[in-house]
Amino acid sequence: MHPAPYPTRPYPTLPYPTRPQPALHLLNGLWVASCPTCGFQLATARTQARAERRSRRRVCPVCYEVA
Ligand SMILES: [Zn+2]
């Protein structure tokens, strides 16, 4: 028996780049992930999970100009 409560740790912060979450829209049966800031279309997929995963790998070329 443990009289003291189990020590709770703060949720570990993942080394994930701080990017805004892409906005997902369902258009005509197709999931469209777009930049939440400017609305640039990042990725499209048939499923929400796929669109989310694809868009996470992509960075908005409008908001984040890459050479
Ligand atoms: Zn953008």
Look at residue 21 in the predicted model and tell me its pLDDT: 83
Query: What digits encode the pLDDT tens for the residues 37-61?
Result: 999 999 999 999 999 999 988 888 8
Within 8 A by CB and 6+ apart from 42, the residues are 22, 33, 34, 35, 54, 55, 58, 60
24-38, pLDDT tens digit by residue? 999 999 999 999 999
pTM: 0.66
Distance CA 22, CA 37 (A): 9
Spacing, Cα 54 to ligand 1 middle (Å): 15
Q: Are the CB atoms for 64 and 58 separated by under 8 Å? A: no
Ligand 1 centre to CA of 40 (Å) is: 5
Residue 23 CA to ligand 1 center (angstroms) comes to 11
The two three-digit tokens of residue 64, written as one number? 């984040």
